[in-house]
Amino acid sequence: MLHHIDRAGLQIAPELVAFVEEQLLPGLPVTPEAFWRDFAALLRELAPENRRLLEVRVEMQRRIDAWLTASRDQPWDNAAWQGFLREIGYILPEGPAFTVETGPADPEIAAVAGPQLVVPVTNARFALNAANARWGSLYDALYGTDALPGAPAGEGYDAARGAAAVAKAAAFLDTALPLSRGGHADVTGWRVENGAAIATVAGADMPLADPAQFAGHAGEGERRSLLFRHNGLHIELVFDPAHPVGAASPSGLRDVVLESAVTAIQDCEDSIAAVDAEDKVLAYANWLGLMKGDLAETFEKGGRQLTRRLNPDRSFTAPDGSTLTLPGRAVLLVRNVGHLMTTDAVLLGGEETPEGLLDAVITVAAAMHDLQKTDGPRNSRAGSIYVVKPKMHGPEEAGFADRTYAAVERMLGLPHGTVKLGLMDEERRTSANLRECIRALKDRIVFINTGFLDRTGDEIHTVMQAGPVLPKAEIKDAPWLAAYEDGNVDAGLATGLPGRGQIGKGMWAKPDAMAEMLAAKIGHPQAGATTAWVPSPTAATLHATHYHLVNVAERQQELATRERASFDALMTPPLMGRRNLSEAQIAREIDLNCQSILGYVVRWVDQGIGCSKVPDIHDVALMEDRATLRISSQFLANWMLHGIITEAQVEDSLRRMAVAVDRQNAGDPAYRPMAPGYDGPAFMAARDLILKGAEQPSGYTEPLLHAWRRVAKAA
C-alpha cells in the first residue's frame, strides 16, 4: 500500500506533494494550502460526474450488444441500426448552424498550416527535439533519408549524394519561391537592395516572381542568410562559401532551412507508460521545464557529452529595416489523458480519483509559468494554454471537458477561455455527433483531428457482437473510413474553425520510409487539413514541403462547397458478412497481429516505453503507441468471439511470435526475453489483451497494461 500525505482531506503520494510544493507552485500566485484545498473541492464537484459519464458508456454498450446479438442472423439493416442508436441517445439531434467563438489563439494554431509532432513528454530529449523542430535543414532531410534513392556512399560526406540533395531542394524552391525567370539551380549570387532580394542568373539581375515573399535577412558578408515567406511558412537560404556544401555552390548556398513543425503535442497519454505517481511526476516535471524554458537534457553522442536545451528565438532585419523576431520553437500543446482511468497518486475518501482531473490541474498550472513571462521566448504569445483532450464519447463528455477546464481556470485565477482545447475525433460516438461535440466546446476549441487506429478500435468494439469484421488491412478501404475523414473536415469548415484552430490528420507510422511519406502525405493538405502528425523532426521538414505545394486556405474554400460526407457510410460497420477466408489467410492475420501486440507490449510493460519504433513481422520499423495496440487486440478478440479463430490458435501464435520478438530485440541489453517461459508480465499482458479484449471498456488497453506494468515494476 502506498504511503500518502494528507492535504485538505486528500491523500496524496509524497512524490506528487514534493513536486507541487517545491517545483510547480513557487513563482505562481497560488499557495500550497489554496492549491490543495481548491483541488479537493474540484474533485468533489467533478469526480462523481466523471463516474456517471463512464457508466453511461457501459450502459449504452450493453444495449448495443443486446440489439446486435438479437439481430445477428438477419441481413444488415442500416436504417434500423441508426434508428436504434437514435432511440438510445447514441446519435443525437443536430442543432442549428453555429460558428465557434474561441478567443485569440497564436497564429501557429489559428492560421498557419504546417506539420505537427507528437512526442512522449516523459522523454526529455524527445520533448526538446520536438520543441526545437520548428526549423529544419531540407538538405539534411533529403541527404539522410530515402527521400533520395540509395544511401550515402563511404564513411564521410558523399559529394554526389549531396549534389542530388541540392538539386532536389532547388527544384522545390522553383515551386515555392519562383524567380521571375530561370531556376534556383542557375543562381550564382544574391544581394539585398532597397528592401528587395535579387538573385543573379547568367550575369543578370533576377527578382522574385513575387517580391513580397522576401521577409528579411541576417548576418554579414559571405556568411549570411535570406528569409522568405510562402503560404505562411518561412524558408531560409543560408550562405557560407567556406563550408564544403557552400563551396560547391556558385552562390555559396550552404543550406535551405524550412520552418517545419510549427506546433508539437507533448503527450501525457498514449505514447507514454505512466502508471503511478513516480511516472506522472516525471511527465509533469518535463512539461513544467518546457513551460519555464529551463528543461535541459545531457546525453552522450559520438563519444561526446552534449546538453540539449530549448532553442532561442531568431532575429532578422526586415525589408523596411526593422527587427523581425521569429520563434525558434514549435508552439506546444499538451495532451492530457481521457476520462477513463483513475490514479492512486491522489485519493479522496480512500478511493482513486480521475487521472484526467489531475492532469488538467497540474498541466494548466505548469503552463502559467509561460503566461507570466514578460520578456524572452514564450510558448504562447497570445496568452493561451493549449490542451488536447482525447477519447471523449459524444457531446456530453465534451461538455464535461469544457466545465472541467473552466473549473481549473477558476481554481488557478485564470481568465475564462485561457485554456484552449483540442478535440480528438477518435471515438465512434464523437464522429456520429461531431458538430454537437464542437458546439459543446465552441468557446475554447482550437483543434480537431482524425486518428484511424483508435477510431477503428472503437468501431470494432462497438459492433463487437454484430459479427466478424473485415481483415485489418481491408478496414482501411471500407466506406466508413472515407466518410469519417471527410466528415471531420466538413464539420471543421462548417463550424468556422479556419482562422481559429487546426483541422488535423493522423500519424505517418513508418519513420524510415520518407519517400513513401512524400508520395502519400500530400493527401492531408489536399484533404483540407491544416496540420498532420509526423514521427520525427526530419519527417516534419519533409512534410513541410507539402504545405508549400498546397495552399490549404484555398483548398478549404473549395471543399466548403462540396456535398456533406455520407452519414449512412459513416454508420456502416466494416463487417465481413458471409465471406469465407482461407486457412492461410486466417493464420497470417493471427500472426501479424500477435507479433504486433507482443512487439509493443513487451517494451511497454517491461521497460515503460510507451512509443517507439517497433519492427513488424517483416522487420519493418513502425511507430506504435496504444492506439496501434487497441485495434490489433480488438480485431483478434472479435474474430475469436465469432469463431473465425480459436483460443488455441491465438495461444500457439503468441508463443511462436514471442520467439520472433525476442530475436528482434536481441541487441537490447535491457530486454527480457518472453520465451521459453511465456509467463512474464509482458507476455501475460499481451495474452490478456486478446483473450479479455471483448470485455475491456470501449476496447481500451490501459486497464490491463497498467495492471501488468505495475507487476513488472514491483518485480
Crossing angle (nearest 10°) for helices 681-691 and 626-641: 50
3-state helix, strand, coil in the chain (%, to 5): 45, 20, 35
Q: Are 650 and 481 in contact (CB under 8 A)?
A: no
All cell numbers assigned to 713: 515494476
The whole-angstrom distance between residue 605's C-alpha and the CA centroid of its chain comes to 22
DSSP-assigned beta bridge partners for residue 621: 615
CA distances from 1 to 244, 312, 507, 705 (A): 62, 45, 39, 20
All cell numbers assigned to 640: 475469436
Catalytic residue of the set 625, 626, 687, 709:
625
Burial of 185 from C-beta contacts in 10 A (0-12 / 13-18 / 19+): middle
Element (H, E) at 437: helix 434-440
Please state the φ and ψ torsions of residue 423, each to the nearest 5 degrees.
-105, 115
Q: Are 92 and 436 in contact (CB under 8 A)?
A: yes
Catalytic residue of the set 308, 335, 444, 555:
335
> β-pairing, 445-450 with 502-505?
parallel
Element (H, E) at 398: helix 394-412
* CA pair distance 445, 420, nearest whole angstrom: 6
Crossing angle (nearest 10°) for helices 124-131 and 277-292: 30
Q: Residue 371 corresponds to which amino acid?
A: L
Helix (H, G, I), strand (E, B) or coil at 495: coil
Half-sphere exposure for 183 (CA within 13 Å, toward CB): 10
| 335 is known as an active-site residue | yes
All cell numbers assigned to 358: 489531475
| 381 is known as an active-site residue | no
- Locate all alpha helices (DSSP H) within 446-528, ordered by sequence: 452-462, 472-475, 479-494, 514-520, 523-526
Q: What one-character DSSP code corresponds to residue 660? A: H
Q: Are 394 and 401 in contact (CB under 8 A)?
A: no
Task: List active site positions.
Answer: 335, 625
